[in-house]
Amino acid sequence: MMLKLFRNARIVTPKDEGSPAAGKNQGNVIRYDPGALIVKGGRIAGIGEEHAVLEGLPAEEVHMEVDCKGRCLIPGFVDPHTHMCFARLREAEFDMRIGGMSYLDILRQGGGILSSVEAVRRESESGLYRGTRSRVVTALEHGTTTVEIKSGYGLDTDNELKMLRVIDRVARQTPLDVVPTFLGAHAIPPEYADTPDTFVDLIVNEMLPAVRDQGIAKHCDVFCEDGVFTIDQSRRILSAAKQLGMAVKLHADEIRDLGGAGLAGELNAVSADHVLAASDESIDKMARAGVIATLLPATAYCLRKPYARARTFISRDVPVALATDCNPGSSYTESMPFVIGLAVLNMGLSPAEALTAATLNAAYALGLARRTGSLEDGKNADFLLLNGESPSILAYHAGVSPVRHVYKLGEKIV
């Protein structure tokens, strides 16, 4: 089979030891300089110091050679938490927030998530597809090669299934790997405002079985928060999802500490996301259960909140992943370089720790680390060439994406 050779690159990649990288391993990356990488049939078939890779490489089998000119080569980003499937922007709400109104107050008045619910219910499937696809393409241009997308703006069985169909179509019609997540418990819809437990019944008895039968979503998520879903309701929904064979994650302790991160530990969730307000006790429960902390610094930035305690998670051996949370309310960005910049400059991650968070640990948060998230033999050839010498360029070149080329399965697509 034909080989592609990428040489004269400054390769930086986390190393997959079979579990998410935690504690001091979070920042353990391998560097090859000058490094080379071989692609065969879309997979990595050799990586290392250039002289070692070139030794024993049958020159006649190399049908394409790329001189990377000393540029940094890293794995494609995995964005493990987004709400990119939505119908309309909420620009006026942004103005209300910068005018001083809080995110939860806007939601309480029927805006926020609920205004996106109204828009999605009205939107046709093809309109929803076009908008979602264009955001996914923007993510790809910023270096994301694998992305998770949640439902959660339908909040009734038909519209939740509609969102998951749209996400599935985006998965089939773009070069990225797209991972759909069911988030029927994203808000209490207006028709159940006075009877939230009846809505929980609907999720457990009707939506979850329908989602399982549809077969698109493999994860179930819940927004566990004041005025949204309580700890007990979240436990009920996620336990039911687990019984149907789904992996679970939570929006936990984003605004107030309800103990959502601790619940993630109790349920052996793959990740607890946001966790801005998580207590030390909950963090230790996450560590014991091996739950990944998916941190979303662009949300803290957009809501002007304090950042999650990334150093505490790392010092307590909780693996940290990074994601955009891309949504029309609390964090409207598709850019993983922006998120990495915030993580390095405002949460105290080293560029190497942030790289692991945005690639390997994020792949683990989606159950995909066997095929992506780091550059090693046998994994997918999903990688980026940066306009810079090291991953530091991602934080250093503020507000501009240093992603020069994006390769997916060894093909240049950006």
Residue 219 makes contact with ligand NIG by CB under 6 A: no
Residue 112 makes contact with ligand NIG by CB under 6 A: yes
Q: Which does 257 bind (CB under 5 to 8 A by kind): Fe ion, ligand NIG, none?
A: none
Please name the helix (run of DSSP H) or strand (run of DSSP E) that holds residue 291, with its range, or none: none
- Name the minimum Å distance from CB 331 to Fe ion: 8
Tokens of 250: 């939570």
User: Residue 197: what are its φ and ψ, rounded to 5°?
Assistant: -65, -30
Tokens of 66: 């790329």
Residue 325 makes contact with Fe ion by CB under 5 A: yes
Q: Which does 116 bind (CB under 5 to 8 A by kind): ligand NIG, Fe ion, none?
A: ligand NIG
- Name the minimum Å distance from CB 255 to Fe ion: 12
| Rounded-to-integer distance, Cα 235 and Cα 229, Å | 10
Residue 334 makes contact with Fe ion by CB under 5 A: no
> Which of 113/188 has CB closer to ligand NIG?
113
Residue 55's SS3 state is coil
Question: Are the C-beta atoms of residues 164 and 214 closer than 8 Å to each other?
Answer: yes
> Which of 229/364 has CB closer to ligand NIG?
229
The region of 9-17, 35-43, 45-53, 317-325 touching Fe ion under the rule CB under 5 A is 317-325
Residue 168, Cβ density class (10 Å: 0-12 exposed, 13-18 middle, ≥19 buried): middle
| Rounded-to-integer distance, Cα 119 and Cα 117, Å | 5
| Rounded-to-integer distance, Cα 223 and Cα 14, Å | 31
Distances in whole angstroms, Cα of residue 56 to Cα of each of 34, 51, 68: 17, 10, 21
The region of 112-120, 165-173, 341-349, 403-411 touching ligand NIG under the rule CB under 6 A is 112-120
> Which of 75/112 has CB closer to ligand NIG?
112
> Which of 107/267 has CB closer to ligand NIG?
107
- Name the minimum Å distance from CB 151 to Fe ion: 12
Q: Which of residues 228-287 bind ligand NIG (CB under 6 A)?
A: 251, 254
Residue 223 makes contact with ligand NIG by CB under 6 A: yes
